[in-house]
Amino acid sequence: MLDTQKISDRYIAELPYLMGYEPKESVVAFWLHADSTMSFAQRADISDVLEDTSNFVTVGDHNPRTAALILIYSDKTPSELWDFALELGDTIEENDITVFDILKVNGSEYSTFFLPRDDLDTQGVFTVDAKVISDIKNKYKDKEVGADRDSLMANYGCANSYPHFDERMESIVDFSDAVDDFIDAYEAYPDYSGSDYQFLVSLSVLLHNIKVRDEILIQINSLDREGIDRAIGLASEILRVTPKEHSAPIYTVTAIMAWIKGNGALANMLIDTALEATPDYNLAILIQVALRTGMSPSYWREVISEL
């Protein structure tokens, strides 16, 4: 097993800066890739992962994943989370990804689930090294960390009430800049900084504008198979930062790409997830009907090409 005490200090200290806020009651995954790099992959509410652990493994990752470090942020004791942690670890390993450690994090303290169960709450509690915290703060000295996800999302029109979202979208007369943001991100992927959380959130928000979304679908329609793979990779980055309640547009767009690529099973799963988030999302309903009736994706391409 890797020396997780050394690497965990760094990633626990750095995560709030990568995300822009302090995670609460969350599950976070760091993937170790075949090229020996490690990246922050995704965050989800514990309640959502409890409902279906299989959905936690992100689709479309461009860089093969060999192992995972899982951080569970919670005020609960490790013993209370034991069964959940084991089920999550088993699910990840079923996808041929080795789980080299699962940690329960609360503030700067963490403990490992790889200890015997009887010792979980009394032994193996570590504290992030103060020097590591200082080094990370210095690295991100110009970046603010919000207190919670909702305050960060509100800045991008993604809060529950969408306080500035409608006004912001109505002000877009020429939405070419919005489309250009997607094109620039697509062309740079996977070499751009996938940890640019706020930029990815802004892309997710823009998909709530139907004109922007439809123009993106037109652009996707012109891609070849390799281009679709790249676009799905970018979409997976956007998915990991999008709250479930606001995820219908990005899940639907990703489902369409999976459908075009010929992966109907994945497309169905993504559409189901989109409709769980927003049951009356019209495009998702349309695609669900197309999938269930066996419509060929070539027909979709033909329709979109005429727009």
The pLDDT value given to residue 74: 92
pTM: 0.54
- List pLDDT tens digits, range 177-194: 677 778 888 887 766 544
The pLDDT value given to residue 166: 42
> In 3D, which of 230, 136, 242, 240 has the Cα closest to residue 191?
230
Judged by phi (left if over 0) then psi (alpha if -120 to 50, else beta), residue 215 lies in alpha
- List pLDDT tens digits, range 156-177: 443 333 333 344 444 443 455 6
> In 3D, which of 165, 167, 155, 142 has the Cα closest to residue 198?
155
Q: Both tokens of residue 43?
A: 């965050």
- Residue 144, C-beta contacts closer than 8 angstroms, at least 6 positions apart: 20
- List pLDDT tens digits, range 85-135: 988 988 888 888 888 889 999 888 888 887 665 656 666 688 898 998 888
The pLDDT value given to residue 62: 45
Q: Both tokens of residue 44?
A: 């989800």
Question: Is the pLDDT confidence value at 291 over 50?
Answer: yes
Question: Is the pLDDT confidence value at 154 over 50?
Answer: no
Question: Is the pLDDT confidence value at 30 over 50?
Answer: yes
Q: For the chain, what is the radius of gyration of the CA atoms?
A: 20
- List pLDDT tens digits, range 210-267: 888 888 999 898 888 888 888 888 888 888 778 788 889 999 999 999 999 888 888 8
The pLDDT value given to residue 257: 93
> In 3D, which of 237, 232, 226, 179 has the Cα closest to residue 206?
179
Burial state string for 43-77 with b = 16 or more CB within 10 A and e = fewer than 16: bbbbebbeeebeebbbbbbeeebebbbbbbbbeee
> In 3D, which of 108, 107, 40 has the Cα closest to residue 68?
40
